[in-house]
Structures are given as C-alpha cells and as structure tokens.
Structure 1
Amino acid sequence: MAATKQDGGALAALMKAALALPVLAVPMRSGAAETGEIGFSVLGYKERDLMKITEPVLWTRFSFAETWEFRASILMDIITGASPRVVSNQGGTPVQTITGASITDRRKGADAKLTKRLGDFTFSASRTISDEVDYDSRAFGLEATWDLNQKLTTLTAGYGKANDRVGSRDNPQLHERRDTKEYLIGVTQVLSPLAIVQSSLQFSRGDGYYNDPYKITFTFPPPGSEGIPQLAADVRPGSRDSLAWLTRYRQHVPASKGTLQAEYRFFRDDWGIRAHTLEAAWEQEINEAWSVRPALRYYTQSAADFYSPVIPTPRPAVLSSDQRLSAFGGLSPSVRGIWRHDSGVLVEGTVGYYYNAKDLRLGGDGSSAFNTLRAWYVFGSIIKEF
C-alpha cells in the first residue's frame, strides 16, 4: 500500500544493511574451487501502536567457471497495522490521525546479479523486481570495479535505472509512473593489514509521480475567525535530484580481538532536505565461534521546503504534511550476535530499537508537529557454505 511505501523503503534499506557483505570482503579467487552459500533471514519490525512488518528472505551466492559469480534472492513483506493518513489541527495543535481500516498488504520481490572477473576488472549486471497491490517496480543495474596498487585500491562505478508504477486502493483510476536514474562512483583503500576505508558518491535523478495518494492535510481556521476548514491532498514536486556521500572505516585491534566499525552518510536533495547519519560499532570476538557487535546510530534531517502540518495562506501549489518530510532526529541502538561453526554454518541475530523525535534533531529545532516514533526490530539469519 502506498501509504506505507516510504516506510517500506526504510525497511528495505534496513534489510539491505543487514544483509550487506563486510567492507573488507574476500575477493573471488581465480582458479579456486567452486564455492557458494545459501541463506535464510527474517526481519521483524514493529512500531508502537502502528505498523508491523515481517520480511522473510531466501538467497544464494555461488561462483563457477573460475571467474563467474551469481547471486539471487526472493523476499516477501507482510505488512499489518495502522497508518496515519490525516494531519489535522482540530484540537489546536497539528497531529497525525489514524483513519480508515487497518492495513494488510503483501509485497513480493526478487533480484539477481551476475558478475564476471577479467584480470583486475570486474563487471556486474543486476535485475530487481517488486510487486504489491498499488506499487510495482522494475530496475536494473550495471557495475564495474578496477583493482589497482596490488589490489590495495579498488575503484567502483555504477549505473542503475528504476521504472515504478504507482496506484491507489482508494482511486482505481490512478496509474502514474516514476522513473529514476542513479550514478555511483567509489573507492576502497586498504590502509594497512588492519585498516580499510571505503567512500562513495551516489547521484539520483527521478521524474514522475511522488505524491502520496493516502495523505491529507485538514486545517481549521483559528478560533473566533471567519473561514471554513480546508482540505488538501498531498502534492509534491514532479522530480527529485539527490546526492549521497557514504564513508566507512574499519580498524582491527588484535590486542583486544575487536574491530572498530564507523560510518558517516550525508544526504541532500533539491526538495530542501539535508540529512546526516553517523554510526559507530564494535565487533568483539569472544572465542573462535562467538562474536558480539553493539552499535549506535544517530540520524538528523531538515524539513523539505514544501512541508507544512497546516495549509498556509495563500495556499501553495505544492504541499505535504507527511512527517517523514519534516525536521527530526533519531537514535538507534542495536546489538548483534554471531555464531560460526566449523561445518560452514553461520547463525546471526540482531535486536535494535528506533527512537525518532523532534528534539533529537541536530540543534534541537525539529518540526513542532512531529509525533515521536518508537519501534523495535529483530533480524535473524542462518547461512550455510557449500
């Protein structure tokens, strides 16, 4: 359901991060025996009094013919709960209001990626599909890497394109499109046998339908004044340009058998949003089989230029009261446990918590109408090498 599409996007990002390979990934070994793995994961996400999402994922990865690698996954989002649809100031202060019946939805997705290594160069092509009742997406990607300096430096370039189709359960006549192109450049540098840094820039250009057909702004005039309540649908610009810069650093400390993991991401777009994400984690080896990884993530963003929890006068042509476009900040602590067995089985479990609030925005000047979000998530996976 499109009312939860941006929530689903955040969940997809969370799952992608949970499944991502370490920055210091083991390269494909030329001439090595055919190897691979198969895995199953489940991600559970529960907002306080709102959405509940369960996402099982099955994936596989294997190399063959010495220089080829294939990856594929299938997943399903199972979404239940309630979603805020109206922002109203009827009580004097703008608040989100849950209206309508509870949401029940299913999203099915699959992706595949084929990689070929030619000496110091690697070329990949990928395909992704995603279907739900009122939102379908088709995307493909191309990526190339070049190993330099005896494989201590790796340059990366990528291109992707997505073609999405937006509908609405409330309006069967709605069939809009959104097309997005993405470009990526990056570098990975081995600093020492114990340290590595990775940095990338990603530019995205989107055109098409960005409105949320389920969101409404309902504004009452001040008490004692003339006028009637106004109702406005969610209307956003017909394009969006964004730039994201991500830097990761890993430093292993042999004396303590631990690894420092730090990440910083800066995001900006032409809607006026500026966002910063900082995460610090420490992966501690307990013994040959067990390790634990506590982490803390901080997020802060400014509001979109057209965000407003009430309808201004004069009424603008572009307006959204969706609080995901407002100014706020958030903290997310988590802890991950990992168990490895000599047979090639790896079991992993993560528990995390989201706390988003207006007062957590950097500088403390978040949007006054932001309703605090509290949510738990759990992630578990089992992987078998073969």
Structure 2
Amino acid sequence: MQLSNKKPNVAKLLTLATCSLLGTAPDAIAAEDTNQWRFDTALMYYGESERVTAVEGIIAASKEFSDQEFLNLKLTLDTLTGASANGAVAQPNVQTFTRPSGRGSYDIEAKDTPLDDTFRDSRVQVNAQWSQPLAENYLGSVGAYVSSEHDYFSLGFNANIAREFYNKNTTLSFGIAAAQDQISPEGGLPTPFSEMLTVQDGNANGLNRLGADDDKTTVDLLFGLTQVINRKMIMQFNYSYSQVDGYQTDPYKIVSVVDNNGYALRQLYESRPDSRNKNSVFWQTKYHLTNSVIDFSYRYLWDDWDVKSHTFDVRYHIPLEGAYIEPHVRYYQQQAAEFYQPFLLDGEPSPENISADYRVGEMNGLTLGVKYAMELEGDSELAFRLEFFQQTPTNPGFETPGVLADVELFESVSAVVAQISYSF
C-alpha cells in the first residue's frame, strides 16, 4: 500500500521503486531535501463476506542523511481471522472434517462450501532499506526483511543498481532478491495424496504426516527501464523472473474423491510441484493532463505451472483545493494451473500433482475503489481509501457428475477494503 503522496525526485528513488517491485523494499517514500525523519502510518481493514477478515497496521520511517543517501524502515503488524475454503466440494448432506491439529472436527451444512473456521494467524514483519549513489549516474540499494507467523518464518535480502542516461531522462536498473522460508503448519506436514483421517479413527493428530516442517527458497531477478517521454509523460518497463524451490503445497488444503454420482467418498491432502519458475512483464505509464494525472499499468505473468494472468490497473489523480481524490479500477484474469482439479473421480489414476484450491484455478477479479487525501498543517497528510473487490472462480472445463451439478462448486468471494493513513 502506498502511504505517502509526496513527489520526490524520480531519479533519486528509482532504486527503491525497483526493489519494491521485487516485493522487498519498504513502501514508505523518502522525504526530499531534509535531514528530518518522515513517518507514514496506515491502518487497513480487509473483510470477505463470511470468510477471512484481516487488520493490518504499518508504520514506516525514512530519512535522508546526506545527498541521495536514504534509510527506510518499516514495521508491519497484521492479524487474520475467519474461515478459509479447505478445497473440498460442497455436498447435499452435512460433512465433517478434521481440524488441522488433528484434535477436533467441524461440520459443514448441506450445500455449503466447506470452510475451515479455525483460520487464525498474526504476522510481524520488519523491513530495512539503504540507498546511495555509487558513482556518477549510478545509484545502489540494499535491504533486508524478516517476517514471522505462528506457522511461517521468512528472511529475505535484496540489492539493486540503477544507471541514469541522457540528463536523467532514461534509467536502466537491475535488481536481485532472495528469500528463505520455513513452513511449520499446525499438526505437521501432511503426506500428499494421503487420506484425511477423522477423529473417530482414534487420535488423527500426527497420522499421515511427513514431519514437522519444511522450507523453500526464492530468487527474484528484475530488469527495468524508465523513460521520460516528454514533460507530461513517463513510462516504465520491467521484466522479472522468479525461481522457487522447495515446499509449495498448502498443508491445509484437501481434494475430494467423488463417485460417479458426485458423492464424496474421502478427502485427500493436495500435492503441488516442488519447483516453480515465473516470468512477468510490466508496463506503466503516467500522463499529466491539464489538471490531473492518469496512471495506467498492465502486467502479464506466466509460469511452468501453466498459470497465466493479466492485470490491468488504472488510477486517476484529481487535485482539489488542499486535497485530492483518486478513483481506482483493477481487473485481473487468471488461467488455471495444470494440476488444478476441483475434485477427483474415484477409480481414476492419481495425477502427479493435484490441488482444488481456487487460488490456482481459473478466475477473474474486479476492484473498484477511491482514495481521498487532504493536506494538513506541518507538511502532513490524512488519507482515506475504500475499495470493493469481487473474485469469481470459473469452471475451466470439468464435467460435474450427479449431485455436484446442484451445488455451488465455484463460489464467488466478495470483500471490502478500508484504509486510513497519516503522513507527517
């Protein structure tokens, strides 16, 4: 989330922007021409209808110690509660599922999407980023972050270098980021394709488990070009490559095995590949109209899981007297992963990998929102953002046998996002 509306020199901050696209740089924008600390704070609420609720707080600090030498720090705290889809299919009868800990169970009413209501989590993340000139027309940046949840720990580093040309109208940049994650799910790591046991089977906890934890590594590369077109237009082009190796299965997701009439016979734990290579291209254009600015971006992503996605994003910045308003529209469309299946027919050979998680399925999403910000005394700003989000999973071509034709297999998810931010 963007916490500040200050407009510092683009060349000074391009390094931070590039690392931010890698997902590692703080979101705070460094203050220009000052040796004082600047703070950006935000509180965000995200709520899905009858599902997940999240509350996130951010405080970011930035300071310029000397010419073009910036330190950025950020602390993020968030909590998540509610219910999350476990991947099983809805049924015309009540279903009972074992909780991830193996020490209890929960019931799902007839025709309802199976949701695990034990979803609880909290996260603490700290980011630090330092940028400075390396030589004439060269800017460099290094940073690190650490993030901790009750079942997930992540540590990451990043570095970036940018070279300016043609009176700073053209900038080429290269960034690299690496992360090491440890996954320690509640109840341990389930054995892929093993059956979810019930509490009645006698202490399901610890059964069908590979171990207590596993890890994965991620390496991201980014190549960027920023070009000032004229006094009113600036463009940015990026290509990024990401390689992920290690445990990528969601330990809390299952897949239903159904008979020819669509009735669920058993639940199996999902399995995903232990490697993933992602590519994406990104184009952003900002154009200054007479009294406003339009910001348009497009991203295309593809990977070796056969996931392909398109993201269109438009923001329209409209200045007001001592304030501004910014409408926002975002559209997202995704093709399903090659191993996505909403269910598995009994008797069919098991594929090498399988997941019924709608997040790797076929879907589209639409976000509509608006931001309003006002200038306050002392070079401070107060802003409010409200957005509505609709995510619609779709059937990528699977036939639905028997009773599955009478239940909702691809249920839409609606959410509201509300944020208040204060910069000083």
Mark yes or no: TM-score above 0.5.
yes
Letter in 1 for 2:332: Y
Distance 2:262 2:227 in 1: 65
Distance 1:301 1:25 in 2: 36
Distance 1:60 1:23 in 2: 16
- Find out whether 1:318 has 2:353 as its counterpart: yes
Residues 71-110 of structure 1: matches in 2 within 5 Å? 71-88=72-89, 90-91=91-92, 96-99=113-116, 101-110=117-126
Name the residue aligned to 1:264: 298
Letter in 2 for 1:261: D
Distance verdict in 2 for CA 1:262–1:22, change over 3 Å: farther
Distance 2:34 2:388 in 1: 41
Distance verdict in 2 for CA 1:149–1:95, change over 3 Å: farther
Distance verdict in 2 for CA 1:187–1:94, change over 3 Å: farther
Name the residue aligned to 2:132: 116
- Find out whether 1:295 has 2:328 as its counterpart: yes
Name the residue aligned to 1:61: 62
Structure 1 residue 318: Cα displacement:
0.5
Which of 227, 230, 247 does residue 283 from structure 2 map onto? 247
Distance 1:211 1:265 in 2: 25
Distance 1:96 1:24 in 2: 48
Deviation string for 1:255-277 (max 9, x for gaps)?
A: xx111110101011110100000
Name the residue aligned to 1:355: 390
Which secondary structure does the structure 2 equivalent of 1:88 belong to?
Answer: coil
Name the residue aligned to 1:159: 176
Structure 1 residue 20: Cα displacement:
8.0
Name the residue aligned to 2:240: 202
Residues 275-286 of structure 1: matches in 2 within 5 Å? 275-286=309-320
Name the residue aligned to 2:151: 134
Deviation string for 1:216-275 (max 9, x for gaps)?
A: 1122212399xx824321100010000111111011112xx1111101010111101000
- TM-score in terms of structure 1 length: 0.86
Name the residue aligned to 1:10: none
Name the residue aligned to 1:193: 231
Name the residue aligned to 2:419: 379
Residues 27-38 of structure 1: matches in 2 within 5 Å? 27-28=11-12, 32-38=33-39
RMSD (Å), alpha carbons: 2.5
Deviation string for 1:259-308 (max 9, x for gaps)?
A: 11101010111101000000122111112x11101011110000000000
Distance 1:185 1:245 in 2: 10
Q: Is the 8 A contact 1:87 1:95 kept in 2?
A: no
Which of 319, 327, 330 does residue 365 from structure 2 map onto? 330
Q: Structure 2: where are the runs of 5+ without partners?
A: 14-31, 94-109, 189-205, 401-408
Name the residue aligned to 2:274: 238
Letter in 1 for 2:299: R
Distance verdict in 2 for CA 1:25–1:241, change over 3 Å: farther
Deviation string for 1:109-129 (max 9, x for gaps)?
A: 010001111331111000011
Structure 1 residue 90: Cα displacement:
3.5
Which secondary structure does the structure 2 equivalent of 1:324 belong to?
Answer: helix
| Structure with bigger gyration radius | 2
Distance 2:361 2:112 in 1: 13
Q: Is the 8 A contact 1:178 1:209 kept in 2?
A: yes
Say how many residue pairs are matched. Answer: 357
Distance 2:10 2:289 in 1: 19
Which secondary structure does the structure 1 equivalent of 2:88 belong to?
Answer: strand
Distance 1:131 1:328 in 2: 30
- TM-score in terms of structure 2 length: 0.79
Which secondary structure does the structure 2 equivalent of 1:82 belong to?
Answer: strand
Distance 1:199 1:273 in 2: 22
Name the residue aligned to 1:274: 308
Distance 2:420 2:178 in 1: 30
Distance 2:162 2:419 in 1: 30
Which secondary structure does the structure 1 equivalent of 2:229 belong to?
Answer: strand
Structure 1 residue 339: Cα displacement:
1.1
Letter in 2 for 1:381: S
Q: Is the 8 A contact 2:4 2:423 kept in 1?
A: no
Distance 2:366 2:4 in 1: 21
Letter in 2 for 1:61: S
Deviation string for 1:31-73 (max 9, x for gaps)?
A: 9552541111111100000010000001101111323110010
Name the residue aligned to 1:45: 46
Distance 2:181 2:261 in 1: 44
Distance 2:132 2:397 in 1: 47
Distance verdict in 2 for CA 1:128–1:277, change over 3 Å: same
Name the residue aligned to 2:222: 184
Structure 1 residue 159: Cα displacement:
0.4
Letter in 1 for 2:241: F
Letter in 2 for 1:306: F
Which secondary structure does the structure 2 equivalent of 1:160 belong to?
Answer: strand
